[in-house]
Amino acid sequence: MTHFRHAAIAAALLAGTTGASAQTVITTKPVQTQTVVTTQPRLVLTPDQRQVVYRDIVRQRVSPAPGTVTYTVGARVPSDVQLYAVPDSVAVEVPAVRQYRYMMVNGRVVLVDPATSEVVDDLSD
């Protein structure tokens, strides 16, 4: 009789584990994220405007930025580089550059977007 009881208990345990071993699958929808990129229109200057900006900014006496780094259009400028506001005389003649800042690097005027710290133009004589 005890042998029958052990067999019944074993059968009940096996039957109970069969239902418990089923896997539960939870599905979720991937979260949709939207990246908002606000870009300003690309700065386009005529040759005459480029000359006016370069000529008037070069007359300003500002400390040059380190010349060991190559600054190209689209590159980010380090936060420790000193940027200067575009002089009013330049902004009156070429209003498109009013919103930018500039720095001098190896005799070149580099215009920088202050919101993104990206180089938007590189002017030389």
pTM exceeds 0.95, yes or no = no
Residue 26 within a domain = no
Where does the pLDDT of residue 38 fall: very low under 50, low under 70, confident under 90, or very high at 90 and above?
very low
In a domain, 38, yes or no: no
Judged against a pLDDT cut of 80, whether residue 106 lies above it is answered with yes
Where residue 62 sits, what CATH number does that domain have?
Answer: 3.10.450
Average pLDDT over the chain reads: 80
| pLDDT surpasses 50 at 8 | yes
Total of domains in the chain: 1
Angle ∠(101,63,50) on CA atoms, nearest 5: 45
Distance separating alpha carbons of residues 78 and 70, to the nearest angstrom: 12
* Helix, strand, coil in percent for the chain, rounding step 5: 30, 15, 50
For residue 91, pLDDT over 70 is answered with: yes
Q: Does residue 30 or residue 57 have the better pLDDT? A: 57
- pLDDT tens column, 57-81: 988 888 888 767 778 899 999 888 8
Residue 35 forms part of a structural domain: no
Taking the C-alpha atoms of residue 24 and residue 16, their distance in angstroms, rounded to an integer, is 17
- 15: in domain: no
Residue 80 lies in a domain: yes
Distance between CA 73 and CA 118 in Å, rounded?
Answer: 7
Q: How much is the average pLDDT of 89-95?
A: 92
Task: Kindly tell me if the per-residue pLDDT of 19 is higher than 60.
Answer: no
User: 112 lies in a domain?
Assistant: yes
Query: Where in the sequence is the domain holding 99, given as residue range(s)?
Result: 47-123
Query: pLDDT confidence of 45, banded at 50, 70, 90?
Result: confident
Specify if 29 maps to a domain.
Answer: no
86 within domain boundaries: yes
